[in-house]
Structure 1
């Protein structure tokens, strides 16, 4: 019986095909087994670079390119293109087996040969040094480079030549050269390749065996029903692929808490989902998958459902955002808490300030309570006097500290007297309850978007799982921190030293969008939650596409009209409405954009509305964009009045350190929004652009 394998990159291609072509592809390959068995439809391709390439007729105009086995029964669908383009593709490309990973590599061999000839010609006139002259051939062979790639590497004199080669260079081989060019040693590059390296010798002539072990690139389909499910959700399935550099992190056994970090789109969430499934497969107890908002929790739950088809394993995984966990634990003991809203909380602080006659703002006291008192479990005036206030910026003398503590004490007493709670006090009580329990509710906890959790949320999670191997697994990127939470994991009893892994390859965003977005963060010093500074240097994408469109306008009406025009252009080009997003700084701006798009007949929905339609363009605040992705994204109203938002930034005169942190958080918010785009990014403003954009204009 013939087995169909589908190249991962074709899932992206399939999603972009016209619906009539998609339907015909599905119909042809649904009958693929019987057609192959009778020898029908598959035809040899004259002048194909690889003799195992075959063509299959989709329509009179469209052809599929299939890699046929020399022996065995696994056929791999590589491309579906218009007739002439399909045959040209087969004439220019080849498929080979990497000598250290054992996986297949699809390469544009014709472009490779053309560039090699050009470099060879240029080298005859070269006067400077070569890029890899300090690296031995034996090291390049050890890192998976074949003879032609080594010859190519020996002719390179500039980094830009290597960057230009990425679209047609075999992926693993290009990654090895990229690491060496970035200053890594051969041993460091070897370690960076990690789980991609295969134990034992590789038969580079056995394409059939390579296909079967190329799970990071090829999806084996078990029958027509599974194939139809793949074609029904191509983007969704592509998102949950586990790539070689991620597999070792998922499969590892750690002696304690562990984490994975990396820039946007590097697959941290994919790793977290697979890690949860792997832990559940061990059958040691319940696995909690959690994050900081309900929206993200719903997205994680969707991923778990897509990834886990075994009901027994699925039943061991609970997806729940951290505050819901806190409220559930609290409610089981005390019943439902009466919550105080943010406006009433501010009024309470104001009344205390007026009563005590002290010179502090409501915002300052609220943050001092959260970032110092609650974060460090300060329970007395003496403890507060001795508490570390790192990051708070504004210095306080002994008299001022006494005043602050008095205000905090009055605030907490008022809450007790009125039987009111904030989310923080609910978490504090839930943590106490869990710490007293010998039987913890979970055996493993997996945390996504870890950088946005507060100290008391971490303390709650630490109390919800026993101190044991593989207890906590964290995924996050501090460059994407969009809330005012700065923690030291070590001080919270979560030590990940020696158990931290970094991902560097972006699987979502094009290289052009990623490079532009990284420019927003240039020069930023970001802590890594482990008492050091973090870096996203080396974060790269293998996908190429259009450069971001960045444009300013004289008025808001002109800007939003242009956004509507661009969205209509995307729709006209076959992009589904659900694959288009618009991000703005405030909900009010989102409502204005929705109104203008409505006048153009474009349906929209608000991301904050759980009932929003899947057949409409999604509009949301930059905070709501967290954890989402869109094929096409517009980031609007990036003006000096909106980013940084005045209400979100502490005045420098009040607290200079907090002022700088607030600015960094606003910069990160824009960075997060822009990196939600997969293929096309539009960034616009009216009037004066945001100072975050100025260096890139």
Structure 2
């Protein structure tokens, strides 16, 4: 039976076609098996550079371009264009199989042939060639073929290479770009995500090459699978893997494994595919989890798109950590009474007053969470011996005794009132899991790992038996937006030797990414495993406009300018749902929604309607986590708002915690800025945030 491959890039094009054309595409390719034999037929081109390219009629105006192999039964739909454009597109191009990776490649031969003589003509005046530091043998070993090698040898500047991305073979362009960025051939090979071939690839076998390229081509069999792909073109395009991501998602590990990477490098996509892969290859249950309900809902939608069978979908359970711990708790104890934040502060305040303790209620609450709960301290002797790394205020034996008395009284009051916090529910759920004869999951996949508390990590460790592929962790400590810090080793999770790092940003332009990374330069950020993380090597291959920074006298002036900026983006063809507004406070985000609606621009709050379509969405920087937009406006980045004074411990109370809080607020601004794919606008009224020092004139 003929198999139809659909090029990932066509999915993006398909979503932009008029609905009547989409319907015809669906009708034509639903009969594709017949189209390759009798009935509708694939037409050869008269002036093709590659006679394996064919066109197929969609209607009187539109034609599809299909790659038809000389042998095998895998055909690939590459484009649907107006008749003459389809013919011209197909006549210019040639398909090939990469000799190093075995993957399918498409190149614009006409563009290469037209550009190369011009490059050669201008190289005589250049004193340095772009790749003079790389030998032919290394380039060939990395899959650069004869035509691309000749092109590379004529390059003198990286801007020429960037301009050639549109017409060079994709894998080979990535090799050249990595080398131009300073990577070694070994590092470039690792980023390709290709395993060494057991024997040389057959570079004439296009069908086999297509099947080896799942990061570029989705294969469908039958009308039902085809309709499912066309039903979710944009969403499916977003969950496709690049080669390095594919290798991590489908690997086999002897124990817990981790993938790290900056914003836009595809960690969440890898986590989704990892859960899907584990559900496909095994029979045990897979837990896919994260730390908020919003992100959990997004993961669930991704799994529904990926899973090609009910059996696979049923083996993947998507829950955020608190949701699962509540369920396990409730099965034994019934629904818990949750202590509200205000009630907790009142209890600590009364204890401080009663004991005349030299501590604030905030300091006591933090000590309880980040020392006592984090290290499973249960009595005074354990507390006196506990490590207080990350807690800057030094305590003598007498002060520790006073502090333990306050914590003991707090925990006793919780018991007396029969109320629970999110953390104590998780602690009790962990105890219940430890009592079970068998853990409920065979695999656990964790996304946004940097924001989980140690008690949540112990809970997840207890939910899955130790063994191969037991835990898979995706996260980036540069995007930590809560105060939780953890050493994975201290909670029984050892990832040494099983860690991967993604460095290529596939979402944000190089200009926005570079500016945002500049805010973090010099920050010592932990890696959750006893070392420090780094932003070195993160890069984007997409270029665009630099961020705009604007100062205003009043908040009204700033919000009026926001309205003008959103209108400007819409006039450029940006859809309202492709625009996001981020603020540090709910109040300012709600003010932005009010002003935009008053100006006739439909806008909704992320807090009230997170999934709204066809509207501009505004929310706090915290709520922007996990989202992305073509254009983002980050507003209110003033000295009194960012960092938020209520989120930063006074330095006189605890210098180390003060520094950590400032770093977390800086990371929060970094997260908000890197939600933007193409345009970033930052504004403030009054004086700018200290985080913008060096970026404003």
TM-score (norm 2): 0.91
Alpha-carbon distance between aligned partners in 2 of 1:209 and 1:435, rounded to the nearest angstrom: 48
> Does 2:298 match 1:299?
yes
1:88-107 pair list within 5 angstroms = 89-90=89-90, 92-107=92-107
Alpha-carbon distance between aligned partners in 1 of 2:50 and 2:318, rounded to the nearest angstrom: 47
Match of residue 458 from structure 2: 459
Q: Is contact 1:605-1:617 (8 Å) kept?
A: yes
1:66 counterpart SS class: strand
Distance 1:488 1:652, change over 3 A: same
Match of residue 559 from structure 2: 560
Q: Is contact 2:590-2:619 (8 Å) kept?
A: no
1:140-151 pair list within 5 angstroms = 140-151=139-150
Alpha-carbon distance between aligned partners in 2 of 1:446 and 1:332, rounded to the nearest angstrom: 23
Q: Is contact 2:190-2:244 (8 Å) kept?
A: no
Residue ranges of structure 1 left out of the alignment (5+ in a row): none
Alpha-carbon distance between aligned partners in 2 of 1:595 and 1:328, rounded to the nearest angstrom: 38
Match of residue 375 from structure 2: 376
Q: Is contact 1:465-1:471 (8 Å) kept?
A: yes
Report which stretch shifted further, 648-657 or 461-470. 648-657
Match of residue 477 from structure 2: 478
Alpha-carbon distance between aligned partners in 2 of 1:514 and 1:211, rounded to the nearest angstrom: 32
1:616-627 pair list within 5 angstroms = 616-627=615-626
1:68-467 pair list within 5 angstroms = 68-72=68-72, 74-81=74-81, 86=86, 89-90=89-90, 92-113=92-113, 115-128=115-128, 130-157=129-156, 161-195=160-194, 197-467=196-466
1:496 is displaced (CA, Å) by: 0.3
Q: Deviations over 1:523-573 (max 9, x none)?
A: 332211011111232233344555544444444334333433444455566
Q: Deviations over 1:119-164 (max 9, x none)?
A: 4334322335x45434332121111111233234334455555455
Report which stretch shifted further, 561-570 or 410-419. 561-570
Match of residue 8 from structure 1: 8
Alpha-carbon distance between aligned partners in 2 of 1:465 and 1:199, rounded to the nearest angstrom: 35
Q: Is contact 1:195-1:246 (8 Å) kept?
A: no
Q: Deviations over 1:351-410 (max 9, x none)?
A: 111122222222111111111111111223332222221112222233332222222122
Q: Is contact 2:583-2:621 (8 Å) kept?
A: yes
Q: Is contact 1:167-1:544 (8 Å) kept?
A: no
1:418 is displaced (CA, Å) by: 1.9
> Does 2:678 match 1:662?
no
Alpha-carbon distance between aligned partners in 1 of 2:370 and 2:105, rounded to the nearest angstrom: 50
1:684 counterpart SS class: strand
1:26 is displaced (CA, Å) by: 4.3
1:517 is displaced (CA, Å) by: 3.1
Distance 1:552 1:646, change over 3 A: same
Distance 1:57 1:562, change over 3 A: farther
Residue ranges of structure 2 left out of the alignment (5+ in a row): none
1:198 is displaced (CA, Å) by: 4.1
Alpha-carbon distance between aligned partners in 2 of 1:93 and 1:544, rounded to the nearest angstrom: 25
Q: Is contact 1:2-1:37 (8 Å) kept?
A: no
1:303 is displaced (CA, Å) by: 1.5
Q: Deviations over 1:237-279 (max 9, x none)?
A: 1122233222332333322111111122222222222222222
1:601-640 pair list within 5 angstroms = 601-609=600-608, 613-640=612-639
Provide the aligned length of Structure 1 versus Structure 2: 696
Q: Is contact 2:284-2:315 (8 Å) kept?
A: yes
1:666 is displaced (CA, Å) by: 1.5
TM-score (norm 1): 0.91
1:35 is displaced (CA, Å) by: 5.4
Q: Is contact 1:606-1:612 (8 Å) kept?
A: no
Report which stretch shifted further, 21-30 or 598-607. 21-30
Alpha-carbon distance between aligned partners in 2 of 1:41 and 1:458, rounded to the nearest angstrom: 57
Distance 1:385 1:122, change over 3 A: farther
Q: Deviations over 1:492-532 (max 9, x none)?
A: 11000011112223333344443343333333322110111
Q: Deviations over 1:168-206 (max 9, x none)?
A: 443322333344344443334333433365442123344
1:640 counterpart SS class: coil
Q: Deviations over 1:81-140 (max 9, x none)?
A: 566655554465443321111212233444444554444334322335x45434332121
Report which stretch shifted further, 316-325 or 27-36. 27-36
Q: Deviations over 1:428-451 (max 9, x none)?
A: 222222223332222221111111
Q: Is contact 1:196-1:245 (8 Å) kept?
A: no
1:467 counterpart SS class: coil
Alpha-carbon distance between aligned partners in 1 of 2:655 and 2:166, rounded to the nearest angstrom: 46
CA RMSD of aligned residues (A): 3.0
Distance 1:203 1:562, change over 3 A: farther
Distance 1:24 1:404, change over 3 A: same
Q: Deviations over 1:552-598 (max 9, x none)?
A: 44443343334334444555666554443322222111211111221
Alpha-carbon distance between aligned partners in 2 of 1:161 and 1:691, rounded to the nearest angstrom: 38
Q: Is contact 1:511-1:541 (8 Å) kept?
A: yes
1:217 is displaced (CA, Å) by: 0.6
Report which stretch shifted further, 304-313 or 448-457. 304-313
